[in-house]
Homo-oligomer: A and B are copies of this chain.
Amino acid sequence: MQIKDKHPADIAEHLVALDDKERDLSFLMLAEKKAEVFSYFENHVKQEIIKDFGDKDMAELINAMSPDDRTDMFDNFPDELIKRMVNLLNNEERNIALNLIGYQKDSIARLMTPYYIQARPDWTVEKVMDQIRKHGKKAETLNFIYIVDAQNRLIDDLRVGQILLAERKTEISTLMDEKFIAIRANTNIEDAFNTFDKYDRSALPIVTDNDSLVGIVTFDDILDKMKDRDTEDIQKFGGVEGLELSYIDTPWTEMVRKRAGWLIVLFIGEMLTASAMGYFDGEIEKAVVLALFVPLVVSSGGNSGSQAASLIIRAMALRELRLKDWWYVMRKEFFSGFLLGSILGVIGFVRILIWQQTGIYDYGEFWLSIALAVSISLIFIVLWGTLSGSLIPFALRRFGLDPATASAPFVATLVDVTGIIIYFSVAAFFLSGKLL
Does A89 make an interface contact (CB < 8 A)?
Answer: no
Which residues from 274 to 301 on chain A have a C-beta closer than 8 Å to any C-beta of chain B?
274-275, 277-278, 281, 284-285, 288-289, 291-296, 298-300
Whether the pair A412, B299 counts as a contact (CB closer than 8 A) is yes
Which residue, of A164, A256, A308, has the highest number of chain B Cβ atoms within 10 A? Answer: A164
Which residues from 361 to 385 on chain A have a C-beta closer than 8 Å to any C-beta of chain B?
361, 382
C-alpha gap A129/B165 in the complex (Å): 9
Our pick among B2, B143, B195, B289 for the contact of A143 (Cβ within 8 Å) is B143
Which residues from 170 to 223 on chain A have a C-beta closer than 8 Å to any C-beta of chain B?
177-184, 187, 191-192, 195-203, 207, 211, 218-220, 223
Contact flag A314-B234 (CB < 8 Å), given A161-B136, A179-B5: yes
Copies in the complex: 2
C-alpha gap A291/B284 in the complex (Å): 8
Which residues from 314 to 367 on chain A have a C-beta closer than 8 Å to any C-beta of chain B?
314-315, 318, 320-321, 325, 328-329, 332, 335-336, 339-340, 343-344, 347-348, 351, 361
Supply 9 further A-B pairs (C-beta < 8 A) apart from A200-B220, A291-B291: A1-B183, A132-B161, A197-B227, A234-B313, A263-B382, A270-B300, A277-B293, A284-B288, A408-B408
Which residues of chain B come closer than 8 Å to A231, judged between CB atoms? 314, 318
Which residues of chain B come closer than 8 Å to A133, judged between CB atoms? 161, 164-165
Whether the pair A310, B267 counts as a contact (CB closer than 8 A) is no
Please count how many residues in chain A sit with their CB below 8 Å of the partner chain's CB atoms: 136
C-alpha gap A335/B253 in the complex (Å): 9
C-alpha gap A253/B97 in the complex (Å): 53
